[in-house]
Structure formats: structure tokens, C-alpha cells
Amino acid sequence: MDYVTLGRTGMRVSVAGLGCGGFSQLGLAQGKSEADAVAIVRQALELGVNFFDTAASYRTEEVLGKAIKSARREDVVIATKAPFSFSNPRSAPEGVVASLDESLRRLDTEYIDIYQLHGVPPEAYGHALNDLAPVLLRERDKGKFRHLGITETAPHDLEHHTVRRAAQDGVWDVVMVGFHMMHQNARHRVFPLTRANRVGTLLMFVVRNIFSQPERLRATMRDLVAAGSVPDRLGGSPDPLAFMIHEGGASTIPDAAYRFVRHEPGVDVVLFGTGSREHLRTNIASILKPPLPEEDRRQLAALFGHLVGVGLDAPHLSRRSAGRSRSR
């Protein structure tokens, strides 16, 4: 496993971080047992993963708490989140504190390493900064958590307005941001700010449906061609990203997706979710591989660097439109 220092937190964290939510929720969302979920976390620990991301809404805090009992607490970095979203944009301070206390109970731990506000839309950022952060920082000073973080609402904040502000306010030690092969604008809009201000970065939305479901990728490419956003040849190709699969290159499209983000300057932890121990090993192996060949990276930048908001949908949603482009 490779480790990095997570911004100004000073914590040494694995570059591969196990996400305990998403669409698998450690396999619980797919009908697997709690014992199966615990086994996934423990195998991640055996493979050197020390960063685990969960949330009150994921319903995996208790499982994670049980699983990490096999490790020394100081060897594990736990990140969890307070409810905050479009459905609850005016979260009350007392509710956030109550959620923090409940997370501590469910995780069965004396402290949380990173406590994050979950999915803060740009229009609610002022409330998060002025009303909630001061209260949470007082809870931090009581020893309930070590570092404060914030996550964006990636499909609803395509230009990263929330994390751009958060990176410069001096309050948030860690941000979570969406970045992948066909939504690359964090390279210019976010990472220069987080690097300059020593804010740790957690990546989400790295491998989406368009990278794991071939027909979805083909449909997305047809939409992008129709919108004039990518070359015509990609719309008729049965495998539009095949140029990355070659000796010395990627072995699969998901492999390419993980390697593309892992070596981007400004990226700290690449989050991934899984409900399978085999899939866990495969994902970690990809994250630990060398960068994609430079020619493949150049092609990805040339073909997709101008796209914004492509492939940020969830599996249960209907296929998005082709997203949009920005000037090169």
C-alpha cells in the first residue's frame, strides 16, 4: 500500500480508501450479511487500507465499528458525515451535534478522525460555514473528532463552487470532490486551491456506470457526438475507450479510471466502494499501479478535458443527457 499525508491534518492515509456507502454499502445493499461486510473491511485492513469513509445515512457505521475492532484504533482513520443535503439544507446545529454523538455511539469509538458535512450545495454553504462550523469546532475541541471536512453535491455542483470556497476559508481541513476521466475540471478549479492551502482531498465518483457498463458508455458517447462535444468516430465505436487497453496500458476501463485519478497532482485518497472481496483486491491493485502512459493521458485530456458533468448519475437514475462542454 502507498500512503500520503492528508493535507494539513498530518495524518498518513492509504491512497486507497474504502467507501462504506455508495451503491453497495459493503454488500449490504445487495443482500449480503453483516458478517460479509465485516469481512470486507477486515480484508481491506489486511491489504493496508487504513482510510474508511462512511456516513450517518449509509447505515454502515455499526458494521465499520465492529470490523475495525481487529485493529488498533490509532492505526485506522475513520471519516463519517452529518446529514446535510438538498432535502435538509437548513440543518440545525443541535441536530448536527446529535448526529455526531450518534455516529460516535454507532462506531463505538471515542473519537472520529474526520467529521464532514454531507453534500453541501453552493446556496447552503454560507449556513454551513457561519452556523454549523463554529458549533462543530467546539465539539472538536471537546475531543469528539479531530478534523472538520465538507463534501460537495457533485451532480448538482458541476463547477465545484462549494469546495472552491471551502478550500480557501481556512475552516475545513478536508474536502470531498468528484473527479473522473470525463469530468476533469477539478484539475483547474479545485486542486490548485487545495494544494495551496494544504487541504486534504478525497475523491468520489471515480468509476461510474459509463466506465463499468459498456452499453451505457456507448449511449453516452452517442449523446456527446450528437451534442458536438466529442469526435464523430467515438459515437459509432463499439468500444470508445479501447485506445487505453494495450500492453503497458490499462487492463480494463475501470483499471484506467482508477489510474487516471490516482496520479493527478492534488489527489490524496481515491475512494471506492465494493460488496465483494475479489472486487476489493482488484480495485486496490489498480489504484496501486503506475500512471497511465503519457500518450493515453494526453488523449483523455484532448478528447474529454472540456466536458463538465458527464457520467455523474447514479445507477437507479435514468441516463443523463450528454452533459455539457466548456471552452477549451
- Which residues carry out catalysis? 58
Contact 257, 245 (CB under 8 A): no
Q: Residue 135: CB partners within 8 Å, gap ≥ 6?
A: 93, 96, 97
Phi-psi region of 313 (alpha: psi -120 to 50; beta: other; left: phi over 0): beta
The residues that bridge with 166 in the sheet, in sequence order, are none
Rg (the chain; Cα; Å):
19
Measure the CA angle with vertex 150, ends 146 and 155; round to 5°.
155
Q: Which helix (H) or strand (E) element contains residue 36?
A: helix 34-46
Task: Give the count of alpha carbons within 13 A of 87, CB side only.
Answer: 3
Grid coordinates given for 45 = 485492513
Contact 212, 279 (CB under 8 A): no
**Strands, DSSP E only, in the chain?**
3-5, 12-14, 16-19, 51-53, 77-82, 112-117, 145-151, 174-178, 200-204, 269-273, 307-308, 324-325
